[in-house]
């Protein structure tokens, strides 16, 4: 009876009413979704103290570094690693009992140029590049063995049509670079969850390519434990059906599904089907930056509705989904203010520029609280 009352209040009046049945403390994302999956945020090195840390610890039980473990950040020159920020993140996560995911080991972007060159400035030989991959992965994964719980081992290896992306890794090593990356990561930490991560893999062609790739790895006995659907989505893409089909198809492979980089772009798209292709750039025009002074209430509501829909799909697949990670803590810190052009005012996350919760946040709590009760 008491729980029913909480539910009906939750459905009408947001956070204040979504109290746990044991206290009057407002529930948090991590509490409400605890029966189903962990809820994470992408973090920056400035997030481990002050208001950012408070918000992080009050709502989330999982973290992923947005940039600080990318190759160019952690291993900028051949013989030097830069650990300060990654160490601070792992220390913060460990001290606070958070699940920590590493992002990312092998990706075509944000690599220093030396990785692909030999001493003469020519393309590195396959042997040299493979040895560099081994050293990079063993050193980074090995340093945080047992403390970083899983890794995006390979990020974005596929084109939109599902074929292999012509990255420098692919050009020099062929498709086998993917299997090798997983093997090296497994050698460095046999207990870590090892993920293939990509964007737009809800779409049928790219999804088919992803399924092909993962099946092949599984058939070869490669230690892959999950697929990361990035989920840089829009108000109208992907549809509920498309997303649900994609999750079901990945789950049918017998691996974990993770939503790894969730945000919802409410600004007009500069391209068709942009996904998160960082090579795309566009000129800033007023019509691409329609809300420089704040988000109108109707768009707030549309965003909340969309987040509610996404989380209701995740809940339908709760048996398959291990984690849902938001790609940032608040709107002001989102990459979508800078891409595909600088100077836009973006609103893709759950907390605003003052770190205040948005209607989207309350909507997700409401959806989770209802499901928690039914669970």
Catalytic residues: 156, 261
> Which residue's CB is nearer to ligand GLA, number 56 or number 233?
233
State the CB neighbour count (10 A cutoff) for residue 9.
Answer: 15
What is the smallest separation between the CB atom of 329 and ligand GLA, expressed in angstroms?
13
Residues in the chain: 375
User: Residue 136: which residues within 8 A CB-CB, separation 6 or more?
Assistant: 71, 75, 105
Instruction: Report how far apart, in Å, the C-alpha atoms of 296 and of each of 126, 141, 236, 267, 331 are.
Output: 53, 44, 18, 12, 15
> Which residue's CB is nearer to ligand GLA, number 48 or number 199?
199
What is the smallest separation between the CB atom of 333 and ligand GLA, expressed in angstroms?
11
Binding ligand GLA (rule: CB under 6 A), the pick from 61, 203, 210, 230 is: 230
> Which residue's CB is nearer to ligand GLA, number 177 or number 199?
199
User: Residue 294: which residues within 8 A CB-CB, separation 6 or more?
Assistant: none
Contacts (CB under 6 A) with ligand GLA, residues 182-211: 199
> Which residue's CB is nearer to ligand GLA, number 275 or number 368?
275
- CA dist 115 and 218 (Å) reads 28
- Residue 60 DSSP one-character state: -
- CA dist 344 and 336 (Å) reads 8
In degrees and rounded to multiples of 5, residue 65 shows phi and psi of -75, 130
- CA dist 8 and 16 (Å) reads 13
Instruction: Report how far apart, in Å, the C-alpha atoms of 35 and of each of 29, 82, 313, 316 are.
Output: 11, 37, 15, 13
Binding ligand GLA (rule: CB under 6 A), the pick from 189, 261, 331, 366 is: 261
What is the smallest separation between the CB atom of 334 and ligand GLA, expressed in angstroms?
8
Residue 253 near residue 211, CB atoms below 8 Å: yes
> Which residue's CB is nearer to ligand GLA, number 93 or number 275?
275
Q: Per CB under 6 A, does 64 bind ligand GLA?
A: no
What is the smallest separation between the CB atom of 83 and ligand GLA, expressed in angstroms?
19
Binding ligand GLA (rule: CB under 6 A), the pick from 33, 335, 347, 362 is: 335
What are the DSSP E strand ranges found in 134-185?
150-155
Number of residues in contact with ligand GLA under rule CB under 6 A: 8
What is the smallest separation between the CB atom of 210 and ligand GLA, expressed in angstroms?
15
Which of 285, 269, 268 minimizes the C-alpha distance to 343? 285
Residue 201 near residue 142, CB atoms below 8 Å: no
Q: Per CB under 6 A, does 276 bind ligand GLA?
A: yes
What is the smallest separation between the CB atom of 65 and ligand GLA, expressed in angstroms?
9
Contacts (CB under 6 A) with ligand GLA, residues 148-177: 155
Q: In sequence order, what are the beta bridge partners of 65?
A: 43
Mask 93-132, x = binds ligand GLA (CB under 6 A)? ----------x-----------------------------
List of residues contacting ligand GLA (CB under 6 A): 103, 155, 199, 230, 261, 276, 278, 335
């Amino acid at each position: 009876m008491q729980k029913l009352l909480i539910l009906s209040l939750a459905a009408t009046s947001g956070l204040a009413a979504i109290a746990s049945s044991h206290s009057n403390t407002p529930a948090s994302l991590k509490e409400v979704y605890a029966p189903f999956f962990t809820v994470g945020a992408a973090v920056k090195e400035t997030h481990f103290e002050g208001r950012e840390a408070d918000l992080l610890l009050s709502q989330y039980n999982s973290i992923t570094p947005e940039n600080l473990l990318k190759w160019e950040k952690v291993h900028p020159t051949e013989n030097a690693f830069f650990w300060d920020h990654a160490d601070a993140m792992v220390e913060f996560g460990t001290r606070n009992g958070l699940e920590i995911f590493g992002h990312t080991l092998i990706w075509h972007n944000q690599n220093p140029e030396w990785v692909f060159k030999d001493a003469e400035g020519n393309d590195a030989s396959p042997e040299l590049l493979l040895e560099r991959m081994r050293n990079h992965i063993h050193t980074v994964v090995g340093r945080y063995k047992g403390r970083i719980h899983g890794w995006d081992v390979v990020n974005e290896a596929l084109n939109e049509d599902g074929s292999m992306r012509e990255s420098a890794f692919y050009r020099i090593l062929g498709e086998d670079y993917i299997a090798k990356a997983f093997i090296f990561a497994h050698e460095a930490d046999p207990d870590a969850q090892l993920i293939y991560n990509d964007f737009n893999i809800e779409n049928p062609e790219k999804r088919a390519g992803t399924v092909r790739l993962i099946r092949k790895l599984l058939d070869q006995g490669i230690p892959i434990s999950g697929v990361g659907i990035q989920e840089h989505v829009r108000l109208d893409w992907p549809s509920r059906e498309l997303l649900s089909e994609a999750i079901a198809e990945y789950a049918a492979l017998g691996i974990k599904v993770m939503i790894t980089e969730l945000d919802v772009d409410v600004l007009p798209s500069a391209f068709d089907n942009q996904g998160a292709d960082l090579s795309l750039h566009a000129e800033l025009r007023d019509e691409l930056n329609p809300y420089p002074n704040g988000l109108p209430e109707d768009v707030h509501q549309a965003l909340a509705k969309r987040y509610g829909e996404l989380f209701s799909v995740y809940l339908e697949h709760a048996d398959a989904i291990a984690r849902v990670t938001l790609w940032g803590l608040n709107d002001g810190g989102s990459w979508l203010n800078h891409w595909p052009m600088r100077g836009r005012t973006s609103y893709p996350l759950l907390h605003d520029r003052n770190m205040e919760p948005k209607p989207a946040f309350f909507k997700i709590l409401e959806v989770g609280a209802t499901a928690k009760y039914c669970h």
